[in-house]
């Protein structure tokens, strides 16, 4: 049995093991957006922006629908195996994406990507939360999320690879797919499920019989705080998905940039800022929890406040510099928001329901994000001004500040106690 010191070290080792998985998870998603021009030129059956929006959306819809199921499976069975099998499956689909030749094949590949990736994030965050039960939880989740941001940064450079005649967009997908399959093997050997008997959040003794799916979902959906968290998790994410998926194309068109420069400008600075925000936001939230059990809620609300000037500046930018500054401020706020969603969830639902709860959050949030991707393309086809669209996003962010402040976790709990 691990000593407390070794257990604490292994808890951080788990975060390190999952870091490359998070990186690949979002690299495989992000590079589609930054290689759009090359892919559209090579697949002529993609007819217009609405078609491209549908390609982006079909990933989110399948991902969203399967997320609660993926979370439920993770809560019932081995999180280790759910993570390893998810990584292997989506990496194989990434490789296949590099070989599609028609719009319908690309839609099918993105839908399969959504199915295979739906099992990872709820499971990984719940696993990290199980290993980090005290005042390291927001920091641990934040460090995991930095893998996501670095994956998005690397995806931002994919446009250069797509423009290189010796590489191309097909090479990018094929190579990333093979890397993911290769990493699944050492991950399977080193990742372990936590020892339930050492948990401070679960009662001692044998595990109780698991509840039926209907009872679990009923318990979550009748929880006022959980419903508020779903709403809070969803509204800002619509803007986040549009920024992630459409910003390379927005900057390319608005400032007459090459595909490579547009991708880097749209992704690099916002993700570096998100990385900084996740580290700072995680540290601030864990420290604030020493004096208030709403410390993570307050930290997340600060991040949401940062969305307001950022979205206005992005929508009204007259120069690339102003747009990049706005994106960086947005990224900083996103980091504060992103590193605290699972820790807040841990304060308001039962430990054995966390992956399922996060899956339900993904269902609502990403379904709306997929609709937002399609709607943004539809609005741009009709020449609706960017400042109008992003002004609406800023209004949604303001509403979200009030929503998160309505969440009231229990006055005390294991989550607020120092880690063993």
194: phi then psi, degrees, rounded to nearest 5: -70, 155
pLDDT in tens, 233-286: 998 888 887 877 788 878 888 888 876 778 778 878 888 898 899 899 989 999
**pLDDT score of 414 more than 50:** no
Confidence at residue 197, expressed as pLDDT on a 0 to 100 scale: 54
Name the region of 205 (left: φ>0; alpha: ψ -120 to 50; beta: rest): left
Whether 144 and 22 have beta carbons less than 8 Å apart is answered as: yes
The reported pLDDT for the residue numbered 417 is 42
Per-residue burial over 376-415, b if 16 or more Cβ lie within 10 Å, else e, is: bbebbeeeeebeebbeebbebbeebbebbbebebeeeeeb
Closest-CA residue to 38 (of 181, 195, 153, 160): 160
Q: If you average pLDDT over residues 177-191, what whole number do you get?
A: 92
Cα of 344 vs its chain's centroid, Å:
16
Quick: pLDDT tens for 272-285: 898 899 899 989 99
DSSP 216-232: HHHHHHT-HHHHHHHHH
Q: What is the pLDDT of residue 77?
A: 82
Terminal Cα-to-Cα distance of the chain (whole angstroms)? 15
As a whole number of angstroms, the distance between CA 159 and CA 262 comes to: 8
The pLDDT value given to residue 412: 55
Specify the pLDDT at position 83: 93
Chain CA centroid to CA 145, Å? 8
Average pLDDT over residues 352-376: 83
Enter the pTM of the model: 0.76
For 74, 125, 227, 339, 381, the CA distances from 220, given in Å and listed in that order, are: 16, 18, 8, 21, 40
Is residue 210 within 8 A of residue 76, CB to CB? The reply is: yes
List all residues 6 or more positions away from 172 whose beta carbon is below 8 Å from its beta carbon: 31, 35, 98, 158, 161, 162
Residue 366 has pLDDT above 90, yes or no: no
Residue 420 has pLDDT above 70, yes or no: no
Which CATH fold topology does 11-194+213-410 show?
Growth Hormone; Chain: A; (1.20.1250)
- Determine the pLDDT at residue 416: 40
Per-residue pLDDT at 418 exceeds 80: no
Residues 6+ positions from 30 with CB-CB distance below 8 Å:
151, 152, 154, 155, 156, 158, 244, 267
Q: Of the given ranges (164-168, 239-243, 268-272, 298-302), which has the lowest mean pLDDT?
A: 239-243
Tell me the CA distances in angstroms from 336 to 214, 229, 276, one per residue in order: 33, 15, 9
Whether residue 410 is predicted with pLDDT greater than 80 in this model: the reply is no
Mean pLDDT of 25-45: 82
pLDDT score recorded for residue 211: 60
Q: What is the phi/psi pair of residue 201, to 5°?
A: -105, -10
Region 304-333 average pLDDT: 85
DSSP 241: H
- Report yes or no: 412 and 293 within 8 Å, Cβ to Cβ: yes
Q: What are phi and psi of 288, to 5 degrees?
A: -65, -30
pLDDT at 262: 80
Q: What is residue 240's predicted lDDT score, i.e. its pLDDT?
A: 80
Mean pLDDT of 97-122: 87
Of residues 192 and 312, the one with the higher pLDDT is 192
Check whether 419 has a pLDDT greater than 50. Answer: no
Residue 302: band (very low, low, confident or very high) from pLDDT cuts 50, 70, 90: very high
What integer pLDDT is reported at residue 201 of this predicted model?
Answer: 58
Show me where the domains of the chain are located. 11-194+213-410
Q: What's the pLDDT at 381?
A: 82
Whether pLDDT at 182 is above 80: yes
- What gap in Å lies between CA 254 and CA 17, rounded to an integer? 40
């Amino acid at each position: 049995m691990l000593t407390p010191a070794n257990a604490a070290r292994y808890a951080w080792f788990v975060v390190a093991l999952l870091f490359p998985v998070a990186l690949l998870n979002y690299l495989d998603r992000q590079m589609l957006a930054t290689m759009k021009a090359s892919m559209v030129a090579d697949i002529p059956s993609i007819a217009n922006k609405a078609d491209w929006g549908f390609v982006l959306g079909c990933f989110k819809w399948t991902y969203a629908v399967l997320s609660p199921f993926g979370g439920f499976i993770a809560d019932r069975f081995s999180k280790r195996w759910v993570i390893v099998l998810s990584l292997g499956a989506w990496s194989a689909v990434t490789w296949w994406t590099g070989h599609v030749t028609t719009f319908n094949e690309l839609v099918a590949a993105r839908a399969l990507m959504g199915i295979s990736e739906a099992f990872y994030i709820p499971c990984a965050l719940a696993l990290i939360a199980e290993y980090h039960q005290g005042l390291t939880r927001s920091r641990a989740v934040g460090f995991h999320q930095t893998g996501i941001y670095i994956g998005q940064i690397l995806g931002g450079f994919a446009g250069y690879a797509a423009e290189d005649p010796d590489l191309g967009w097909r090479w990018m997908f094929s190579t990333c797919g093979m890397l993911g399959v290769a990493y699944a093997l050492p991950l399977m050997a080193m990742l372990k499920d936590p020892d339930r008997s050492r948990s401070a959040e679960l009662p001692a003794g044998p595990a109780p019989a698991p509840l039926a799916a209907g009872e679990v979902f009923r318990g979550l959906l009748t929880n006022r705080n959980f419903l508020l968290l779903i709403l809070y998790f969803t509204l800002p994410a619509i803007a986040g998905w549009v920024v992630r998926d459409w910003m390379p194309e927005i900057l390319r068109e608005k400032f007459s940039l090459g595909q490579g420069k547009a991708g880097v400008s749209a992704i690099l600075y916002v993700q570096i800022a998100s990385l900084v925000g996740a580290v700072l936001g995680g540290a601030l939230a864990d420290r604030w929890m020493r004096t208030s059990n709403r410390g993570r809620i307050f930290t997340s609300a600060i991040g949401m406040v940062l969305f307001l000037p950022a979205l206005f500046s992005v929508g009204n930018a007259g120069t690339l510099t102003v747009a990049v500054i706005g994106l960086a401020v947005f990224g900083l706020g996103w980091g504060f928001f992103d590193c605290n969603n699972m820790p807040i969830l841990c304060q308001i639902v039962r430990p054995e329901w966390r992956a399922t709860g996060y899956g339900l959050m993904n269902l609502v949030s990403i379904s709306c994000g997929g609709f937002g991707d399609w709607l943004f393309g539809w609005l741009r086809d009709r020449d609706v001004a960017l400042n109008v669209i992003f002004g609406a996003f800023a209004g949604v962010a303001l509403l979200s500040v009030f929503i998160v402040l309505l969440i009231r976790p229990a006055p005390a709990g294991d989550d607020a106690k120092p880690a063993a």
